[in-house]
Chains A and B, each alone.
Chain A
Amino acid sequence: MLTTLAALAGLALAQQTDTTVPVRAGARLEVNNFGGEIAVKTWSKSAVRIAASHSSRDRITVDASDQLVRVKSESRRGPSQVVDYEITVPAAMALALSGVYTDISVDGSQGEITAETVQGAVKVSGGAGNVSLKSVQGDVTLEKARGRIDLSSVNETIKASQISGDVSAETVNGDISLVQIESANVEANTVNGDIVYDGTIKDGGRYRFSTHDGDLRVSVPEKSNVSISVSTFDGDFSACYPVQLVGPKTKHRFSFTIGSGSARLELESFNGDIRLCRPGQLAKDRNEDKDHDQDHDQDQEEE
């Protein structure tokens, strides 16, 4: 679809729009783009610069007030087709970015971010406060954010790294990777995919990881204070270090405690395996798996 849109847009004359509007502290940016790209970066000026590449049939409108800068595009025949925005904003500016056939990227933000698209990737570096990133058919990637993080996809993977704050990640058909997470409240679930969590287990924290068809790999320091419950239907559990099971247990459901047990960690995989390791060891395992996969691929090629 994007290719078709791009081809159609190419038939019209390419045009550039480049405008800068002053903004006050606390203002918010709203951008809606049906197809194309929204790329946001930051600067130290109290202004928003909007540069857009688009068809000559399309018109970019910028409505700016003290509190809100709203950017949208229109065509003489209705919705515009493909517009590529490159927008520069003050770092603390709140962002609300949305599209349909749209890739969204943000770099260097220190403000709240909402980004939603249907067919396209969302890739954000930075963000503070409420950070909500959603795509139906695209990877969702976030790094270096702090605050209340909400990540959602349907058919692709979710990756988050160097995050501090509450984290919620949900997809249906994709893996979830949460690495270098500093949080007392993390929830991640997928139906068909693996989940990796490599981050803190804080006293009194709540952590829940759940998949139907996939493996869980979670890092837990040996010196943490956490009650861990493990539930599977048809999977196995393993740990990189000895654990002492407590209470009633079956092959697929049991609990154990490390330290005082003040944090709560729930690990659930209906059909997959669950593995617990020390921090950092998961990365090592992943690299070994990658090497193993490459070896395996090479073996297959040789065969």
Chain B
Amino acid sequence: MSDTWTNRLSEYLDGDLPDKERAALEAHLPSCADCRATLEQLRRVVARAQALDDRPPAADLWPAIARHVGVVSLNARRARRRVSFTVPQLAAAAVALTLLSAGSAWLLERRQPAQRAAQSNTTPSPILTNAGTYEANPRYAAAVADLERVLAQGRSRLDTATVRVIEKNLGIIDRAIRDAQSALAADPANSYLNLHLAQEMRRKLELLRQAAVLAGART
């Protein structure tokens, strides 16, 4: 992943590369599986962003993410770029985007106006750190905790068999997350492990969201 083109893929996708560099990158892509894979992941993240829930969130969190990515990964020379990802950041972005779509907008919508107002006055905390520290990330942890709370409140409306199945499957995902975290501790630069962890954490949010929706529905 140390290819000189890797960090230009975001510009390429944004259509920001000069013609000459774009042509050079396009000539490079067929021979570089890593670049193609990274580009594909990047496209997926963008596609996921475009497919976000169309309910307007009470606060637009994306600028904070973009700012944070900029602080972490961009130097002055690259300051004109919109967003540039390393693989761990890409993995983090995948989770963050899911967090936005699956958790934050939904949760924000359910919060009381006073809470919304209070939140709008606080400085957004960074979402993106790196893949190995997602669970320590306050916003991810808060989204999980909020969804778990909603689920706990609606638990009595769910069939006991459904509750058992959801808990069992959350346990399966948690085990996968722990496995990936342990593996990452030994090999933090491993792009597969980063993306795998991101995928499992995204899946946990999605299952929690699905369960919370079920708990709120007529069951």
Contact = CB atoms under 8 A, between A and B. Distances in A.
B36 A137 contact: no
A191 B203 CA distance: 9
Interface in B150-175: 159, 161-162, 165-166, 168-169, 172-173
B214 A154 contact: no
B62 interface: no
Interface stretch (A103-111, A225-233, A278-286): A225-233
Contact of B172 (A137, A173, A229, A257): A173
A229 B183 contact: no
Interface in B166-219: 166, 168-169, 172-173, 176, 179-180, 183, 190, 192-193, 196, 199-200, 203, 207, 210, 214, 217-219
A155 B168 contact: yes
Given A154-B169, A191-B176, A212-B176, A119 B218 contact: no
Interface string A38-68: 0000000000000000000000000000000
B37 interface: yes
A79 interface: yes
A203 to B, nearest CB: 12
Interface in A169-228: 172-173, 189, 191-192, 206, 210, 212-213, 227
Nearest to B219: A100
A114 interface: no
A247 B33 contact: yes
A270 B196 CA distance: 8
B199 A189 contact: yes
Interface residues on A, range: 35 or more
Nearest to B36: A264
Given A233-B183, A233-B193, A268-B192, A206 B172 contact: no
A206 B199 contact: no
Nearest to A211: B176
B219 A118 contact: yes
B21 interface: no
Contacts of B109: none
Contact of B180 (A257, A266, A270): A270
Given A213-B176, A227-B36, A1 B169 contact: no
Given A154-B210, A155-B165, A255-B33, A192 B40 contact: no
Contacts of B159: 1, 101, 118-119
Nearest to A154: B169
Contacts of B218: 34, 79, 100
Interface in A15-57: 34
A231 B172 contact: no
Given A79-B218, A100-B218, A136-B165, A271 B179 contact: yes
A118 B169 contact: no
A170 to B, nearest CB: 8
29 contacts: A34-B218, A100-B217, A101-B159, A118-B162, A136-B162, A136-B214, A137-B161, A137-B162, A154-B169, A154-B207, A155-B165, A172-B172, A173-B172, A191-B169, A191-B200, A227-B33, A231-B192, A231-B196, A233-B179, A233-B192, A247-B33, A257-B33, A261-B33, A262-B30, A266-B37, A268-B192, A270-B179, A270-B180, A270-B183
Interface of A: 1, 34, 79, 100-101, 118-119, 136-137, 154-155, 172-173, 189, 191-192, 206, 210, 212-213, 227, 229, 231, 233, 246-247, 253, 255, 257, 261-262, 264, 266, 268, 270-271
Interface of B: 30, 33-34, 36-37, 40, 159, 161-162, 165-166, 168-169, 172-173, 176, 179-180, 183, 190, 192-193, 196, 199-200, 203, 207, 210, 214, 217-219
List the 8 closest A-B pairs by CB distance, nearest first.
Answer: A231-B192, A212-B176, A172-B169, A255-B33, A155-B165, A227-B33, A192-B172, A191-B176
